């Protein structure tokens, strides 16, 4: 089946590859803009300890000394970092996916490119005066890329009918 396009069921819209690429560029630009626009933590330039916030949260929960505000301060940035990269991973997976390329290879490429992109962003943030390079951001952004890739792959398997 080399050279054939992916089949599309009647009633479905097929988005062309250049449109997917343009959407990917738009999401990339939005991520970069958010990185510049948002203010960072002011206590240091690098946060090199993975999952320190999670360990701190676990200690507080164990001692039952957690406030809703502190829980939000710890958990919301994690959720935001994951969700920020879900559309990016979704669009990149769709852009890279072809019938000729094995699905596993598409996953690996998507995850490696997502990891490289987030490492680049964190490296860049190190030089921004209002931002902090954080290894946890790399982990959670890459997790978002993985979730996006899974959703990109699932779009081939899941069909919703609305009547």
Instruction: Select the more confidently predicted residue: 153 or 129.
Output: 153
Per-residue model confidence (pLDDT) at position 9: 57
pLDDT digits (tens, 9 = 90+) for 29-74: 999 998 878 765 545 555 666 777 777 777 777 777 777 777 777 7
Per-residue model confidence (pLDDT) at position 11: 56
Task: Judge whether 123 and 133 are in contact, CB under 8 Å.
Answer: yes
pLDDT digits (tens, 9 = 90+) for 140-158: 999 999 999 999 999 877 7
Mean of all residue pLDDT scores within the chain: 83
Q: 129 falls in which pLDDT band (50, 70, 90)? A: confident
CA angle centred on 61, ends 57 and 62, rounded to 5°: 115
Per-residue model confidence (pLDDT) at position 80: 92
Per-residue model confidence (pLDDT) at position 90: 96
Boundaries of every domain in the chain: 24-36+44-49+82-154
Contacts of 28 (CB under 8 A, 6+ apart): 88, 117
By the 10 Å C-beta count (0-12 exposed, 13-18 middle, 19+ buried), 149 is classed as: buried
Instruction: Select the more confidently predicted residue: 67 or 124.
Output: 124
pLDDT digits (tens, 9 = 90+) for 1-11: 444 445 555 55
């Amino acid at each position: 089946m080399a050279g054939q396009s992916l089949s599309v069921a009647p009633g479905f819209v097929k988005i062309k590859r250049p449109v997917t690429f343009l959407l990917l560029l738009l999401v990339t630009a939005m991520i970069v803009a958010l990185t510049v626009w948002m203010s960072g933590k002011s206590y240091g330039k690098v946060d090199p300890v993975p999952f320190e916030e999670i360990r701190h949260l676990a200690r507080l929960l164990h001692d039952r000394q957690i406030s809703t505000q502190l829980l939000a301060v710890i958990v919301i940035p994690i959720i935001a970092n994951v969700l920020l990269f879900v559309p990016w991973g979704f669009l990149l997976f769709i852009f890279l996916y072809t019938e000729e390329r094995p699905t596993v290879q598409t996953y690996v490429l998507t995850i490696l490119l997502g990891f490289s992109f987030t490492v680049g962003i964190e490296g860049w943030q190190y030089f921004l005066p209002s931002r902090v390079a954080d290894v946890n951001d790399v982990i959670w952004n890459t997790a978002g890329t993985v979730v996006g890739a899974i959703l990109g792959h699932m779009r081939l398997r899941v069909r919703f009918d609305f009547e």
